[in-house]
Amino acid sequence: MARSPRWQVIDGEDLYRKLAMGEPLAVLDVRTETEFEERHIPGSVLIPLQELESRVREVPNSGVPIAVVCEYGIRSASACQFLAERGVDQLFDLRGGIEAWPGPVAAGMEANGRQVHPISPERFLIENFHFLPKGLALDVAMGEGRNAIYLATRGFDVDGVDVDPDAVRRARAAARKLGAPIRGVVGNVEDGTYIIPLETYDVIVVFNFLHRPLFTDIRDGLKPGGAVVYQTFSTGQRELGPPADPAHLLRPGELEQVFDDWEILRVRDEIEPRGPGRPPRAVAGIIARKPAEF
Ligand SMILES: C[S@@+](CC[C@H](N)C(=O)[O-])C[C@H]1O[C@@H](n2cnc3c(N)ncnc32)[C@H](O)[C@@H]1O
């Protein structure tokens, strides 16, 4: 009787889509350090195939499926076999290796295991998606657009603004590739050259960016009944690493104060673990709904 396969083969497109949709998934790269340094999937962890046996304890083991990546899909199949024999289940072997990867790539060793330009949306957004009224959304300081793209793939019409033209270009390209176009705009939300239009949006999201004068613009930019999703570093981050500038750190209870006359749907203020080898981060977040009559 044929043995059922103990891992699945996955295409680059499918892996990219899973990550962009925020499916919990670890990416293990089994190439050499030189190959990894040159280009790799953002957020992937490097353990070269020949070191896998001695470093098997470093394989991401948080219970989420693991996608294994190499250059052309040969070493990754051996790694899957090795891991499956040691009882690791939920394995995906990237068919064709990094050559077949359609998404963004990172370079350098300092990015090993770190989400330098993450592909996956923030969990706070995914977990609270059901609170958001459908329609037109704005992602402020969207970076490479992971959260904007997530909203677009889930049916929102999305504008995204960022001051960095390269980031906006990459966000637009990624959104097109995933079949969920966004309107990416290059704009500076701090110097008055980009201003959120009044009562325009059903949802405004801001992640990992703080410019306090924006709070008023966000309040004004939402339609009555619209929702804000704001999450960034809090003062607890001072003990954990950058950023340390108080201008970039939310004070305890600050978001609740800013939106205290709105319906508060969710708040968080916690130290968030970020997986093996990565320091935790201190974040605060809120989801609040503007009153229908305002
Ligand atoms: C840490 S990144 C966060 C990106 C994205 N929100 C995310 O969580 O993936 C901060 C972003 O803010 C953008 N940014 C900084 N100053 C800005 C400004 N004055 N106006 C618009 N965007 C700005 C940067 O270009 C960068 O993409």
Q: What is the DSSP string of 59-97?
A: S--SSS-EEEE-SSSSHHHHHHHHHHHTT--SEEEETTG
- With pLDDT > 90 as the criterion, what percentage of the chain qualifies? 82
Average pLDDT, integer, range 232-249? 93
| Ligand 1 pocket residues where CB is under 6 Å | 141-143, 146, 162-164, 167, 188-190, 207-209
Q: Whose CA is nearest to atom 12 of ligand 1?
A: 141
Q: Say how far apart CA 151 and CA 126 lie, in whole Å.
A: 9
Among 162, 168, 272, which is best to mutate for testing ligand 1, by the most ligand atoms less than 8 A from CB? Answer: 162
Distance from the CA of 164 to the center of ligand 1, in angstroms?
8
The DSSP call for residue 293 is -
Distance from the CA of 64 to the center of ligand 1, in angstroms?
29
73-87, 91-105, 263-277: segment of lowest average pLDDT: 263-277
* The amino acid at 168: V
Average pLDDT, integer, range 136-153? 97
Burial class of residue 142 in the structure, from the number of CB atoms within 10 Å of its CB (0-12 exposed, 13-18 middle, 19+ buried)? buried
For Cα atoms 108, 110, 113, give the angle at the middle one, nearest 5 degrees.
105
* The amino acid at 86: R
Q: 2 falls in which pLDDT band (50, 70, 90)?
A: very low
Q: 294 falls in which pLDDT band (50, 70, 90)?
A: low
Per-residue confidence (pLDDT) for residue 123, from 0 to 100? 94
Q: Say how far apart CA 94 and CA 57 lie, in whole Å.
A: 22
pLDDT at 134 over 80: yes
55-64, 114-123, 124-133: segment of lowest average pLDDT: 114-123
pTM exceeds 0.85 for this model: yes
Under 8 Å between Cβ of 84 and 91: yes
Q: Which residue has the higher pLDDT, 207 or 192?
A: 207
pLDDT at 118 over 80: no
Per-residue confidence (pLDDT) for residue 248, from 0 to 100? 95
Query: Tokens in use for 250?
Result: 């939310």
Average pLDDT, integer, range 96-106? 94
Under 8 Å between Cβ of 43 and 22: no
Q: 117 falls in which pLDDT band (50, 70, 90)?
A: low
pLDDT at 55 over 50: yes
Among 163, 195, 211, which is best to mutate for testing ligand 1, by the most ligand atoms less than 8 A from CB? Answer: 163
Per-residue confidence (pLDDT) for residue 61, from 0 to 100? 77
Highest mean pLDDT among 42-46, 138-142, 241-245, 276-280 belongs to: 138-142
Q: Which residue has the higher pLDDT, 57 or 266?
A: 266
Per-residue confidence (pLDDT) for residue 1, from 0 to 100? 47
Average pLDDT, integer, range 10-39? 95
Angle between helices 12-20 and 146-153 (to 10 degrees): 100
Per-residue confidence (pLDDT) for residue 3, from 0 to 100? 53
Average pLDDT, integer, range 256-274? 95
Strand partners of residue 286: 230, 267
Q: Whose CA is nearest to atom 1 of ligand 1?
A: 208
Report the largest interatomic distance among the alpha carbons of the chain, rounded to a whole angstrom. 69
Query: Tokens in use for 71?
Result: 């250059």
